[in-house]
């Protein structure tokens, strides 16, 4: 008998009513490690009720008191880092070091949220008219919801609920059904830090729970991170029901290597960015774009290292890359590699069919490296989300920039060069949300904005930094006068200064 993970509503683990369950794998061994309940509208309803009940007292809690809970939460996350990394890795498959790094990127958002009294300060203007003052009140929205993907089960929930709740909202988290243990633990620790029950709730589930969230009349705002087709549908569904929405989608991130770049550094950067976490990162580099003569020497540097990547179970300290999250994902990635060969790309390194001794049922594959990929090929057009790097050769800088600009995704992009003017031009003219200059994965820190453009993002406010605060609050502008004495008469003309 395996454990079955419940929902977390109103401070308690509850089984809910739906009766549906899903399997949660340990990708390193291939076994079903536990089950998870798949909630629907009844569970979403119960979580929203709990969140609504918690709302008045939470909104009345001063921001400084909410911040103090976040200070304690940050300390608890660090204290439990080993345990949380284990929860991430055993269901996702990424190495423990990588899991720990992703947790740290998540708790940096908690650190940002600790400054909430300062961040919620509005604007104030005295004497906008004779004896009239105007100021802004930055107020929470109410009950907010977050829907998160499998690839960062700590970091992405931590992008959302710490900011939402320190702004004074209460929250319903619907994590990925593929690795639900970590998000549940994150919410328990929030309560251990002093977060009142009902302020953050978890409903486990799949599409049915998401649809119930989108249709629920008492959820004010939805944050989504996942693949582009679902992001687009969540954006449309939330908007149809009058909700505020930020929906972060998939990616196809390019790394342009200019002829003057340090090739060893560029090759190292490509290796880590394409194959780290088995390529299952929204900011992974999946397309290398060597410009001019560097294509052959870059390929030579990459090929040997890709062949000798160390692949192992998540708890092998020597592993550079773990397994793929599920057998279905592994099959999908391998079939896309086959499609690449069929459509004429040159497979320089073939990582398919890898079997690890002692882990024969695990979902493993080695790194794959393609050369001579063209923009019309399926492997260029689709997000593969696996350890597959495609090389598209560009004749000139202008061609490389155009390739980036024409790609329908716009999450991250990077250029490796020693030429400051080229780098500056690239940052200016690439139509992508996050740009790296000699940085392969330009994930911004918590006090800057994270988010893509084009098909990688649907909505108005991205996440993190002040964009995150804006998303989880609304501004009220107050104009006031305190007349002491004097005449009063009706004014029929719009007031102006003369």
Binding site residues, ligand NAD, CB under 6 A:
147-152, 174, 176-177, 206-207, 210, 225-227, 230, 233, 248-251, 282, 383, 385, 411, 452, 456
Closer residue to ligand NAD in complex, CB, 152/161 = 152
**Minimum distance between the CB of residue 136 and ligand NAD, rounded to whole angstroms?**
29
- Least distance CB 180 / ligand NAD (angstroms): 10
β-strand pairing of 473-481 with 132-140: antiparallel
Nearer to ligand NAD, 340 or 459 (CB): 459
Alpha helices per DSSP H over 147-257? 155-166, 181-192, 207-215, 228-240
Residue 452 or 459 with smaller CB distance to ligand NAD: 452
Q: Is there a contact between 319 and 95 (Cβ–Cβ < 8 Å)?
A: yes
Residue with Cβ nearer ligand NAD (138 or 145): 145
- Going by C-alpha positions, the residue among 247, 273, 269, 249 that lies closest to residue 257 is 269
For ligand NAD, give the closer residue by CB, 323 or 452: 452
Residue with smaller CB distance to ligand NAD, 58 or 314? 314
* Least distance (Å) between residue 278 CB and ligand NAD: 12
The closest residue (CB) to ligand NAD is 226
Contact 395, 360 (CB under 8 A): no
- Least distance CB 6 / ligand NAD (angstroms): 17
Min CB(257)–ligand NAD separation in Å = 23
Give the residue with the Cβ less far from ligand NAD, 63 or 249: 249
Burial 393-425 (b: 16+ CB within 10 A, else e): bbeebeebbebbeebebbbbbbbbbeeeebbee
Neighbours of 431 (CB within 10 A): 13
Q: Which is nearer to ligand NAD, 28 or 246 (CB)?
A: 246
For residue 56, give the DSSP letter.
Answer: H
Least distance from ligand NAD to the Cβ atom of residue 439, Å = 17
Measured CA to CA, the distance from residue 264 to residue 268 in angstroms comes to: 6
Q: If 0-12 CB within 10 Å is exposed, 13-18 middle and 19+ buried, where does residue 36 land?
A: buried
What are the φ and ψ backbone dihedral angles of 370, each rounded to 5 degrees?
Answer: -105, 145
Count the neighbouring beta carbons within 10 Å of the beta carbon of residue 478: 11
- Listing DSSP states for 72-103 in one string gives HHHHHHHHTHHHHHHHHHHHH---HHHHHHHH
Residues forming the active site: 282
Least distance to ligand NAD, CB of residue 484, Å: 55
Using the minimum distance from each CB to ligand NAD, give the nearer residue, 210 or 291: 210
Closest CA to 141 of 118, 170, 121: 170
CA torsion sign for 366, 409, 431, 237 is: negative
The answer to whether the beta carbons of residues 207 and 128 sit under 8 Å apart is no
| Least distance CB 412 / ligand NAD (angstroms) | 9
Q: How far apart are CA 172 and CA 146, in angstroms?
A: 6
Q: Under DSSP, is residue 344 helix (H, G, I), strand (E, B) or coil? A: coil
Task: Return the beta strands (E) in 386-451 as ranges.
Answer: 388-391, 409-410, 412-416, 434-437
Say whether 264 sits in a helix, a strand or coil.
helix
- Minimum distance between the CB of residue 251 and ligand NAD, rounded to whole angstroms? 5
Beta carbons within 8 Å of 457's beta carbon, 6+ residues apart:
231, 246, 247, 248, 249, 410, 411, 433, 451
């Amino acid at each position: 008998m395996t454990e079955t993970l419940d929902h977390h509503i109103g401070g308690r683990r509850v089984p809910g009513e739906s009766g549906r369950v899903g399997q949660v794998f340990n990708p390193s061994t291939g076994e079903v490690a536990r089950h998870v309940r798949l909630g629907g509208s009844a569970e979403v309803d119960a979580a929203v009720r709990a969140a609504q009940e918690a709302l008045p007292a939470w909104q009345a809690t001063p921001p400084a008191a909410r911040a103090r809970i976040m200070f304690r939460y940050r300390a608890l996350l660090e204290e439990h880092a080993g345990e949380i990394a284990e929860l991430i890795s055993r269901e996702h498959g990424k190495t423990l070091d990588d899991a720990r790094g992703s947790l740290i990127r998540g708790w940096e958002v908690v650190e940002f949220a600790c400054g909430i009294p300062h961040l919620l300060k509005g604007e104030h203007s005295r004497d906008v008219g004779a004896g009239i003052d105007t100021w802004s009140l930055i107020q929470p929205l109410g009950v907010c919801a977050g829907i998160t993907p499998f690839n960062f089960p700590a970091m992405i929930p931590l992008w959302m609920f710490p900011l939402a709740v320190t702004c004074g909202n209460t929250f319903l988290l619907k994590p990925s059904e593929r690795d639900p243990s970590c998000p549940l633990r994150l919410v328990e620790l929030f309560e251990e830090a002093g977060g009142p029950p009902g302020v953050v709730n978890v409903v486990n589930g799949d599409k049915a729970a998401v649809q119930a969230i989108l249709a629920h009349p008492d959820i004010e705002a939805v944050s989504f991170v996942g693949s582009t087709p679902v992001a687009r549908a969540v954006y449309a569904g939330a908007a149809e029901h009058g909700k505020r929405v930020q929906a972060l989608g998939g990616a196809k991130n390019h790394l342009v290597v200019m002829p003057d770049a340090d090739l060893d550094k560029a090759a190292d950067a490509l290796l880590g960015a394409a194959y780290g976490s088995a390529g299952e990162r929204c900011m992974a580099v999946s397309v290398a774009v060597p410009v001019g003569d560097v294509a052959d020497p870059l390929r030579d540097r990459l090929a040997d290292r890709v062949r000798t990547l160390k692949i192992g179970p998540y708890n092998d300290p020597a592993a550079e890359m773990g397994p793929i999250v599920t057998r279905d994902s592994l099959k999908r990635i391998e079939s896309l590699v086959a499609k690449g060969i069929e459509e004429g790309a040159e497979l320089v390194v073939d990582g398919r069919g890898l079997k690890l001794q002692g882990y024969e049922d695990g979902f493993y594959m080695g790194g794959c490296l393609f050369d001579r990929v063209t923009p019309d090929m399926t492997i260029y057009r689709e997000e593969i989300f696996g350890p597959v790097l495609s090389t598209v050769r560009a004749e000139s800088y202008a061609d490389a920039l155009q390739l980036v600009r024409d790609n329908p995704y716009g999450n991250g992009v990077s250029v490796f060069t020693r030429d400051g003017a080229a780098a500056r031009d690239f940052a200016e003219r690439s139509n992508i949300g996050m740009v790296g200059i000699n940085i392969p994965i330009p994930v911004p820190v918590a006090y800057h904005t994270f988010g893509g453009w084009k098909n990688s993002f649907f909505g108005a406010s991205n996440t993190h930094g002040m964009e995150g605060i804006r998303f989880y609050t609304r501004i009220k502008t107050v104009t006031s006068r305190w007349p002491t004495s004097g005449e009063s008469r009706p004014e029929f003309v719009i007031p102006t200064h003369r």
